[in-house]
């Protein structure tokens, strides 16, 4: 049986990013597991870019 990892990103952040990509309704209705892996990868990429921008602004 596979172990389930705890999520680093909050569900609210993931949902916000999914909405920006146009998949918020699917994520809310069916969960993030229903999204294609390409979209989940895009969520991670967007979260990283957002964090990097925040770091640059706080310098």
Q: What is the pLDDT of residues 3-41, one digit of tens each?
A: 667 778 888 999 999 999 999 999 999 998 899 999 999
Domain map (residue ranges) of the chain: 11-57
**Residue keyed to tokens 């640059």:** 56
7: left (phi over 0), alpha (psi -120 to 50) or beta: beta
Alpha-carbon distance 56 to 50, whole Å?
10
The pTM (predicted TM-score) of the whole model is: 0.77
């Amino acid at each position: 049986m596979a172990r389930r990892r705890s999520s680093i990103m909050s569900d609210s952040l993931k949902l916000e990013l999914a909405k920006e990509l146009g998949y918020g309704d699917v994520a809310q209705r069916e969960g993030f597991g229903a999204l294609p892996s390409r979209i989940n990868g895009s969520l991670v990429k967007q979260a990283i870019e957002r964090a990097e921008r925040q770091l640059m602004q706080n310098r």
